[in-house]
Structure 1
Amino acid sequence: MESGDKVWEVFVQKKPGLAFKHVGNCHGYDKKMAIQNARDLYTRRGEGRALWVVPAEAIVAVPLDDSDAFFDPADDKVYRHATFYTIPDGVKHL
Structure 2
Amino acid sequence: MSDPKKEWPLWEVFVRGKGGLSHRHVGSVHAADAKMAVEHARDTYTRRLEGVSLWVVPSAEITASDPGDAAALFEPAEDKVYRHPTFYSIPDHIKHL
> For this structure pair, what is the TM-score category when the shorter chain's length is used for normalisation?
0.7 to 0.9
Q: Any unmatched runs of 5+ in structure 1?
A: none
Amino acid paired to 2:21 = L
Is 1:53 paired with 2:56?
Answer: yes
Higher helix fraction (1 or 2): 2
CA RMSD, Structure 1 to Structure 2 (Å): 1.9
Query: Aligned equivalents of 2:37 and 2:63: distance in 1?
Result: 20
Contact map agreement 2:18 2:50 (CA 8 A) in 1: no
Query: Aligned equivalents of 1:26 and 1:12: distance in 2?
Result: 13
Percent of counterpart pairs with the same letter? Answer: 55
Return closer, same or farther for 1:53/1:87 CA change in 2, 3 Å cut-off: same
Return closer, same or farther for 1:49/1:70 CA change in 2, 3 Å cut-off: same
Q: State the shift of 1:18 in Å.
A: 2.1
Is 1:19 paired with 2:22?
Answer: yes
The alignment covers a number of residue pairs equal to 94
Query: Aligned equivalents of 2:19 and 2:30: distance in 1?
Result: 26
Farther off after superposition, 61-70 or 76-85: 76-85
Amino acid paired to 2:90 = I
Query: Aligned equivalents of 2:94 and 2:29: distance in 1?
Result: 50
Contact map agreement 1:7 1:27 (CA 8 A) in 2: yes
Farther off after superposition, 75-84 or 43-52: 75-84
Matches within 5 A, 1:77-92: 77-92=80-95
The DSSP-based 3-state class of the residue aligned with 2:27 is strand
TM-score by length of 1: 0.85
TM-score by length of 2: 0.82
Q: Report what 2:74 is aligned to.
A: 71
Return closer, same or farther for 1:80/1:49 CA change in 2, 3 Å cut-off: closer
Q: Any unmatched runs of 5+ in structure 2?
A: none
Query: Aligned equivalents of 2:30 and 2:43: distance in 1?
Result: 12
